[in-house]
């Protein structure tokens, strides 16, 4: 969210791949014809011919050794992803990963320019900047496994399963594996990466069935689900068209490392869409930076023109005014200033969230800073046309855990008003990589 781009960026111009040869019958057909001829000649000598078995055997052999990795196309068009194209795309992804690791280590963003589109390059620059400010000293690709690679109408899509190791300035490391979905286009006559998403890391581990909260308000929510970067409350089971909450921006210790983001949002719990807004604190160089931001996945988040400071009361609201049209507002109740914008966004309307987060940036999560205790109040959402508080929504708690499974940020039970709760930073070390979670690669933390 350190990237300064518009809330509704213009769509990129579709790129067209160089003309490709129409697919031929390929070696399979040639081999079948050759087998038929040989079989016929053999029959003239032996008097026996079982051509169906011979052809079946050759087809099995061809299936085990395909000439192409994937063939795709639409009516009137067809593109073959041949071995050379597959190799070129694999090489691009390998070079891009290597370039990002070197760019972070050498503090030279220009190393990433040759493998990315202009817009994705700017995202990578922001990602590496935020990794560095969050205490990350190096990233290393440990392993990469390849999934499908396809090309259709000038756009390539590639699936990889990448394991990355992240090292921090406190000497700690973590390692995680994620499925990456790359979109690759032609730019200047060469393949360039346009985007990279991680769709499989958007699931919260549910609480153990049958657990119930028997504690008093303000105490930990014992039945909390677990996430490696979210802590707070989530609700689903209907169509959500508005969400709101108020919180006091926490005073973050300048001696800690990392960042924290406080926000409300719609979507994203069990879907790949998420519209959200809130505040963030980032620790770096012995000082803390506070800012307000908005984000609409898959676009990077951006800082908005509203000053916030520790101790300020902030109310954030997101509401749908028409199909695809949303109003985002953030009001600093302490200063009386506010930010408001109307944006276009396609949402699943599938969930609502009130979250304190350890932001993510590219190859891992930024360490969670020491924010103390944060209180949400006035938390509510509009579901199926009716405004409801957390209790009425049957919202469920989510605890943030580290790689060892220790709770790093603990939500409390919902207060008696049905709309308030706290999130408390524990003394557990903040490390990423624990389980599956709603993983956002903000630009971005």
Domain ranges of the chain: 14-200, 225-425
> CA nearest 277: which of 352, 348, 224, 204?
352
Adjacency order of strands within the sheet including 190-197? 136-152, 155-168, 173-187, 190-197
**363 torsion bin: left (phi>0), alpha (psi -120 to 50), beta (else):** alpha
**197 torsion bin: left (phi>0), alpha (psi -120 to 50), beta (else):** beta
* Beta-bridge partners for 245: 316
CA 264 to chain centre: 17
Contacts of 51 (CB under 8 A, 6+ apart): 36, 39
CATH of domain 14-200: 3.10.450.50
Predicted pLDDT at 21: 33
Q: Which two tokens stand for residue 365?
A: 């999560």
Predicted pLDDT at 297: 87
Which architecture does CATH list for 225-425? Sandwich (2.60)
Q: At how many degrees (to 10) do helices 118-133 and 83-106 cross?
A: 40
Query: Is 431 in contact with 120 (CB distance < 8 Å)?
Result: no
Q: Helix/strand/coil (H, E, C) string of the chain? A: CCECCCCCCCCCCCCCCCCCCCCCCHHHHHHHHHHHHHHHHHHHHHCCCCHHHHHHHHHHHHHHCCCEEEEEEECCEEEEEEHHHHHHHHHHHHHHHHHHHHHHHHCCHHHHHHHECHHHHHHHHHHHHHHHHCCEEEEEEEEEEEEEEEEECCEEEEEEEEEEEEEECCCCEEEEEEEEEEEEEEECCEEEEEEEECCCCECCECCCCCCCCCCCCCCECCCCEEECCEEEEEEECCCEEEEEEEEECCCCCCCCCEEEEEEEEECCCCCCCCEEEEEEEEEECCEEEEEEEEEECCCCCEECCCCCCCCCEEEEEEEEEECCEEEEEEEECCCCCEEEEEEECCCCCCEEEEEEECCECCCCECCECCCCEEEEEEEEEEECCEEEEHHHHCCEEEEEECCCCCEEEEEECCCCCCCCEEEEECCCCCCCCCCCCECCCCCCC
Rounded CA gap, 346 and 33, in Å?
Answer: 53
CA distances from 86 to 151, 157, 184, 213 (A): 9, 10, 12, 53
Calculate ∠ Cα 70-72-73, nearest 5°.
Answer: 165
Q: What is the pLDDT along the chain (445 residues), one digit of tens a residue?
A: 222 222 332 222 233 333 333 333 344 444 444 444 444 444 443 443 333 333 333 333 333 333 334 434 333 333 445 889 999 999 999 999 999 999 999 999 999 999 999 989 988 888 888 777 767 889 999 999 999 999 988 899 999 998 888 887 777 777 777 788 899 999 888 999 999 877 654 444 555 433 333 333 455 665 568 888 899 999 999 999 999 999 999 999 888 888 899 999 999 888 889 999 999 999 877 889 999 999 998 887 889 999 999 999 999 999 999 889 999 999 999 999 999 999 999 999 999 999 999 887 655 567 888 999 999 999 999 999 999 999 999 999 999 988 778 899 999 999 999 999 999 999 988 754 333 333 333 333 2
CA 298 to chain centre: 8
The total of other beta-carbon atoms located within 10 Å of residue 143's CB is: 11
Rounded CA gap, 141 and 100, in Å?
Answer: 10
Calculate ∠ Cα 395-310-134, nearest 5°.
Answer: 80
Query: Is 143 in contact with 401 (CB distance < 8 Å)?
Result: no
Predicted pLDDT at 359: 81
Location of structure tokens 């030279």? 108
Q: Which two tokens stand for residue 5?
A: 């781009």
Rounded CA gap, 283 and 289, in Å?
Answer: 6
* 240 exposure class (CB count in 10 Å sphere: 0-12, 13-18, 19+): buried
Rounded CA gap, 130 and 146, in Å?
Answer: 28
């Amino acid at each position: 969210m350190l990237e300064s781009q518009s809330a509704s960026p213009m769509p990129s111009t579709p790129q067209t791949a160089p003309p490709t040869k129409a697919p031929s019958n390929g070696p399979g057909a040639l081999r079948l014809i050759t087998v038929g001829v040989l079989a016929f000649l053999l029959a003239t000598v032996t008097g026996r011919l079982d051509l169906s078995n011979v052809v079946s055997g050759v087809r099995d052999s061809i299936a085990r050794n395909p000439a192409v990795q994937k063939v795709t196309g639409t009516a009137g068009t067809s593109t073959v992803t041949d071995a050379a194209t597959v190799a070129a795309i694999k090489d691009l992804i390998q070079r891009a990963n290597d370039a990002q690791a070197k760019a972070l280590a050498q503090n030279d963003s220009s190393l990433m320019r040759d493998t990315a589109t202009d817009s994705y390059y700017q995202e990578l620059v922001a990602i590496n900047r935020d990794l560095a400010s969050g205490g990350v000293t190096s990233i290393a690709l440990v392993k990469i496994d390849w999934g499908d690679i396809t090309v259709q109408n000038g756009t390539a899509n590639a699936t990889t399963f990448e394991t990355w190791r992240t090292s921090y300035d406190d000497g700690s490391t973590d390692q995680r594996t994620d499925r990456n979905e790359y979109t690759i286009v032609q730019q200047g006559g060469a393949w360039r990466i346009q985007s990279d998403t991680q769709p499989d890391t958007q699931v919260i581990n549910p609480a153990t069935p049958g657990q119930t909260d028997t504690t008093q308000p303000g105490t930990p929510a014992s039945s909390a689900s677990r996430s490696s970067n979210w802590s707070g409350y989530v609700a689903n089971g209907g169509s959500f068209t508005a969400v709101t909450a108020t919180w006091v921006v926490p005073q973050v210790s300048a001696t800690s490392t990392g960042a924290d983001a406080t926000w409300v949002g719609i979507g994203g719990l069990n879907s790949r869409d998420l519209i959200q807004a809130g505040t963030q604190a980032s620790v770096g160089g012995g000082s803390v930076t506070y800012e307000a931001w908005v984000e609409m996945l898959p676009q990077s988040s951006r800082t908005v023109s509203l000053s916030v400071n520790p101790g300020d009361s902030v109310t954030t609201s997101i509401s749908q005014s028409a199909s695809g049209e949303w109003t985002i507002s953030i009001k600093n109740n302490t200063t009386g200033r506010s930010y408001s914008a109307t944006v276009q966004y396609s949402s699943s309307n599938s969930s609502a969230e009130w979250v304190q987060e350890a932001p993510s940036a590219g190859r891992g999560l930024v360490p969670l800073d020491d924010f103390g205790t944060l209180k949400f109040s006035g938390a509510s959402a509009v579901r199926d046309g009716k405004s409801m508080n957390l209790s009425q929504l049957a919202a469920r708690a989510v605890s943030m855990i580290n790689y060892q499974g220790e709770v790093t940020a603990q939500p409390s039970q919902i207060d008696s008003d049905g709309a308030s709760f706290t999130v408390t930073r524990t003394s557990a070390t903040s490390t990423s990589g624990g389980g599956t979670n709603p993983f956002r690669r903000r630009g971005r933390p």
